[in-house]
Amino acid sequence: MRKILLSRPILVTIIVSAALIGLILGFLRPDAALPEQPALRLVDLPERPALRPADLPEHELADHGHEAMFFQEMADNKVECQLCFLNCIIPDGHRGICRVRENREGRLYTLVYGLLASTMIAEIEKDGMQHALPGTKVLAIATASCNFRCKQCHNWHITQRYPEDVRARQFTPQEVVDLALRRGARTITGTINEPTIFFEFLYDVAILAREAGLRMQFHTNAAIAEEPLRALLQRLDQAVVDLKGFCPIVYREYYGGCLDSVLRTLKIIREEGVWLEITNLVIPTVNDCMDQIRAMSEWILEYLGPDVPLHFTRFVPAFRLTHLPRTPISTLEQAHAIAREVGINFVTIGNVAGHRYNSTFCPCTGGRLIHRIHFAVMYNRITPEGTSPFSGRPVPGRWE
C-alpha cells in the first residue's frame, strides 16, 4: 500500500508530461497548421510561422479567385492544369504544387491574380538582362509561391509559402503599368518567384504595358508548358532564363524541376524571336563540374547560337544550402573561359562586384563595350546602330 501511495504522484507526473510533450510535438509538426495540401509535394516546406503577419491583405483568399487559363476538366470534378511541366491533376478543393491554383467544383482558379508580394524598382541588370536598354530601370513584380523547390532560393520566404502567409497587395494590370511609368521604369518584369504561376496577371499586364510604350520581360525557370509559353511570347519583348545546370538528376533533386522542359522552352523562345539571355548560378558541388558547363555551353551554341548572352553568377549560401561555401571566383572564371572557348560570344560573371567580367566585351577585339560594376553601368560604347565601335560587328540586343 505504501509503495502504491509513493508511486502515484510519479505516475501522474509521467502521464501529464507525456500529454504535454505530445501536444507540443503536434503543434511543432511543420504541416500541422498548413491548409489542405495538394496530393503531390516534391520536398518538405519550410516551417510556417504560427501567426500570420499583422498586416495581411485586406481581402480573404476564399473570395479571391480569377478563373485560370490552360486547364482541362476531368471526371469526378478533377482538373488537369496544363500551365507548367508538372501537369497537376487536382481533385476538387485542392491546389496544385504551386499552391496558388485551386480546383473549385471542377473549375481551376488562380488565387494570385494581381496579388503582388513584391513591386520593386531596380536596375535591369539586377534581373539578369544586359543587352536590353542597359542602365535603365525595371519594375519587378512577384506573387507568393513557386512551382519549383530550389534549395538555394534567396526568396524562399515568399516562394516557398502559401499565398495566405505572404504579405501582399492587390493591383489591377493598369495600376502596375501606372506604377512603372510613375517610377521611371522602361520595363516591367515578372521575376523573384516563378512568373508562370501568375500567368494570367502577367498576360494582362503585358498588353497594357505595350500600349504604354513599356517593354515586358519574363525571368523564368522555363518550366512552362508549350501552349501558354507561345501565347505569352506574343506579348513579351525579352526573357531571362535560369538554366540551373545541365544534369537532369541535379535539376530534379535540387530544384524540383525538369531539364528537358527548360531546354524545350529555350528553343521556343529563340524560335519565336523574343530576345533571350541565360543565367547559370554556379553552386559548389552541385553544378560546378566543368564537363557539365562545357556540355551546356555546347548545347547553347548548337541550338541557340553564339550570340545569346550567358551569365555565370556566384552562389551565396541560403535556405537549405547554407552548409555550402560561396562559389570560388576561380570556378566562375574557369566556366567563363570554357564558354568563350566553346564559342559563346557574350559571357559575363555576376554577383562578384567589380570583377572585370561584370562587363561586356567585343568578341572580335576584346574592347570593353559596356563597363559594369556589379549592376551599375559605368559606360556603354555600343553605337546607336547596335554595333561595336572597335570592330563594327553587330552586337545583338535591344539598344533603343
Give the residues lining the site for ligand SF4 (CB under 6 A).
81, 83-84, 86-88, 96-98, 101, 147, 197
Q: Which residues contact 19 (CB under 8 A, 6 or more apart)?
A: none
Nearer to ligand SF4, 112 or 233 (CB): 112
* Shortest distance (Å) from residue 147 CB to ligand SF4: 4
* Shortest distance (Å) from residue 63 CB to ligand SF4: 20
Secondary structure (3-state) at 161: coil
Q: Which residues contact 379 (CB under 8 A, 6 or more apart)?
A: 370, 371
The residues pairing with 370 across neighbouring beta strands, listed in sequence order, are: 360, 380
* Shortest distance (Å) from residue 224 CB to ligand SF4: 8
* Shortest distance (Å) from residue 54 CB to ligand SF4: 29
Nearest to 381 by CA among 358, 364, 362: 362
SS3 content of the chain, % helix, strand, coil (to 5): 35, 20, 45
How many angstroms separate the CA atoms of 276 and 398, rounded? Answer: 11
How many angstroms separate the CA atoms of 216 and 12, rounded? Answer: 67
* Shortest distance (Å) from residue 359 CB to ligand SF4: 37
> Strand 137-142 and strand 118-123: pairing?
antiparallel
* Shortest distance (Å) from residue 101 CB to ligand SF4: 4
Nearer to ligand SF4, 98 or 301 (CB): 98
Nearer to ligand SF4, 87 or 170 (CB): 87
* Shortest distance (Å) from residue 351 CB to ligand SF4: 28
Nearer to ligand SF4, 65 or 386 (CB): 65
Nearer to ligand SF4, 151 or 336 (CB): 151
Which helix (H) or strand (E) segment is 116 a member of? strand 115-116
- Per-residue buried b or exposed e for 367-400, using 16+ beta carbons within 10 Å of the residue's own CB: ebbbbbeebebeeeebeeeebbeeeeeebbbebe
Nearer to ligand SF4, 166 or 344 (CB): 166
* Shortest distance (Å) from residue 231 CB to ligand SF4: 14
Residue ranges of alpha helices (H) inside the chain are: 2-28, 156-159, 173-182, 199-211, 226-233, 248-250, 259-271, 290-303, 329-342
Nearer to ligand SF4, 82 or 327 (CB): 82
Q: What angle do CA 31, 33, 39 make, to 5 degrees?
A: 45
How many angstroms separate the CA atoms of 27 and 248, rounded? Answer: 37
Nearest residue relative to ligand SF4 (C-beta)? 96
Q: Are 351 and 358 in contact (CB under 8 A)?
A: no
Backbone angles phi, psi at 382, to 5 degrees: -65, 135
Q: Are 85 and 258 in contact (CB under 8 A)?
A: yes
Nearer to ligand SF4, 206 or 332 (CB): 206
* Shortest distance (Å) from residue 194 CB to ligand SF4: 9
Instruction: Report residue 135 as a C-alpha cell.
Output: 542602365
Nearer to ligand SF4, 190 or 397 (CB): 190
